[in-house]
Each structure stands twice: as C-alpha cells, then as structure tokens.
Amino acid sequence: MLVSLLTRHPLATIVIAQLFGTSLWFSVNGVGLALSEAVGLSERGLGLLTIAVQAGFISGTLMIATTGLADRVQASRLFACSAVAGALCNAAFIDMAESLSLAVIARFFTGLCLAGIYPLGMKLVVSWTPSHAGAALGWLVGMLTLGTASPHLLRGLTLALPWQWPLLLASLLALIAAVLILRLGDGPHLPGPAKGGRPWVGLAAFRVNNFRATALGYFGHCWELYAFWALVPYLVSREVARLGWDPSWLPWLAFLVIALGLPGCVGGGWLSRRMGSDRVAVGALAVSGTLCLVYPFLGGSSPLLLLGLLAIWGLCVIADSPQFSALASVTAPRERLGAALAIMNAIGFALTIPAIALTTTLWSSQQLAVLWWLLPGPVLGLLAMRFYSPGRAIATSSA
C-alpha cells in the first residue's frame, strides 16, 4: 500500500526526501553560536567546517561521475545508501566537535554523502516527470533550500536543549529520506543503468553549446549562493543587534531568509512554464546580482529595510538554480545525464569554496563590503547566458 501511494505521488516523495536528506548540509551552522560557547569554535573554524562539507560534496560528485556510478547504479539505491551514511557521519560529528581537525573530517564525509543525494535527486525527478522538468526541479531545489535552512529552524525549536539535539534530528530526517526513496525506486523515463564508459565521460556534455552556456551560468550562480547562505547568520545578527532584539530571534530570522528560497524556486518553476527556464534563470540572477552591488551602500539604513532586502535576496538567490538544472537536463546527452549533472555540480560547488573562504575570513574586517566579492558570479553568469539559444534547447529536448 505504501509503495502504491509513493508511486502515485513520486514528485512529492522525492522533494520531501530531498528536504530531509539535505538537512545534513548546514546542520553545524545552525548551532554555530552554541558551538562557539561550548567548544570555543571561532568564525574561522565555522568557515572551515562549511568548506569541508563543500569539499566532500565536490569529491563525491567527481567520484560518482568518473567511476560511472551515477549512471551504472540505480539512482534510488545510491540516494538511499548515501542518506544513511550521511546520517551516521553527521551524528559522529558530535563526538568529534572538540577537535577541529576531527570535526573537519566528519563534515567532509558528510559532504561526500550529500553527493549521492542532491544530484541523484535531480536524476530521479527527471526519471519520473520529464515533461515538466523546470517546474519539478523548482520543487526539488526549493526543498534543498528548505533543507539548508532547516538547521536554523531545528535550533530555534530546541533552544532550551543541548546543541547536539538539532544534529541528531537532522540525522533522523536523513534516515527517513533513505526509506522513502528506497521504497519509491527509479522512474520509467530514463535508460537503464549504463554498462561502461570512460572516466570524465560527463565532460562530453560541454561540447553542446547550450549545455556549456547553462553550466557557465550555473557556475556564476554557485559562486554567490553558498557564500550568501553562509553569511546570512552574520547579516541577520548585525540587524538584530541594531534593533536591540533578543538574540533568540537570530535562528528564526536566518531560517526565514534562507527558507524563502522555497517559494522562489516554486514560483520560478511556475513562471518557467510560461516564460521559459532561460528567462527565469537570467531574471533571478540579475536581481540577486543587483543586491550584491547595492546592499553594502545601504548599511546605514533602517535595520528593518535591510532585513526586508535580505528576504528578497533569499527569495531570488536560489530561484535560478532549478532552471539551470532543468536546462542542463534537456541539453546533456541522455545516456550520460547522471554523469553530466554530477560533473556540473562538482565544478559549480568547487567555486563555492573560495567564495565561502573569502567572505567568512574577511567578514570581521570588511563587514558588508564583503558582499562585493560575490558580485563577479552573477555578472559572469549573465554574460555566459547571452550565448544560450532557446531554439536549440527545444530541439535537444525533443530528441
């Protein structure tokens, strides 16, 4: 009965599993202030832990792409195994938190496991709902956003409890995600598992003009996105302090700013069915890029105004991501879709590391001016999308 229910609503199952699985991503950031008090974790240390997750994710995506796992193993099985392993690594961080080097290792392996959740979630969506990839991926990436924000929510709900509780809850959610996807299985709209292939076969997708333009646009988006999410607690904390509000507002407002990406992604998916994924991606990237430019100039303005701008930024900063993924999914070679998406994710997330390192390291000295380091991403992404040809995308999608 459960399997029948899941197969009748595959998209809902996948996006809920994505939400639960990706709660592991920023689980430590949600308790960053508590960790600073409990084990003396500095801003630099928190930045290192965030970078470790990104490095693990990059390593994992490269591994599944170059070994062919992304296309040789059923996506549902790889997703489920990764979610279970990620839950265990996330829980193991609790015993390693007092040693920064061990904590970095735990977060690296958590990121490694996330590589089997996010890209494989995209492949599962395409396998079940190929005709509405832009709208469907809007839900998927929206749930990734909500999953990223969820540690702040879990912390807000457990403020009276030790810092370990939000991490344990995130691990429990990841285990539930594994069960949901394992019971759902793969969809019927992709070729069966590939039997061979050379390493780096996913790079062949870059020979396709539209895939290349989409990927370059996505890379610019990645430079901005995760660094912005890493800065949200600092940006919100600044305005909470200026307002004289109780610090307990911080996790709730940080959750809200990031979680607004969910309606941004879903709304972008709805618009993509009327305007096209390329126009939605370009529009969202232009808005977030504009905020990169103007926000530091407004640092002396009303704290409520700045919180409002952060809300708009949170809405737009991720809205382009599902549309880039949708465009990539219809322009990449069909038989190597998993490898192409994994390679694109690996390169994109590699770019998040210097962005996060720059912004978290320079925040104490540059404050709001650090946001200008994010601006090259949207600018270069918009330039890349000038080479995208909608007619070619339609032809590729129909092939």
Q: What is the pLDDT of residues 247-285, one digit of tens each?
A: 888 888 888 898 888 888 888 877 877 888 788 888 999
**Residues 336-369: b if buried by 16+ CB within 10 A, e if exposed:** bbbbbbbbbbbbbbbbbbebbbbbbeebeeeebe
The parts of the chain modelled with pLDDT lower than 50 are 1-2, 196, 199, 393-399
Alpha carbons 359 and 207: distance in angstroms, whole number: 33
Give the H or E element holding residue 77.
helix 75-96
DSSP 298: G
pLDDT of residue 73: 72
DSSP 351: H
The dotted CATH code for 2-398 is 1.20.1250.20
The domain locations on the chain are 2-398
pLDDT of residue 137: 65
pTM above 0.95, yes or no: no
Q: What share of the chain is helix, strand, coil (3-state, %, to 5)?
A: 85, 0, 15
**Residues 206-223: b if buried by 16+ CB within 10 A, e if exposed:** bebebbbbbbbbbbbbbb
**Pair of tokens at residue 127:** 């396998």
Please give the span between the terminal C-alpha atoms of the chain, in angstroms, as a whole number: 36
Q: 303-316 vs 277-294: helix axis angle to the nearest 10?
A: 150
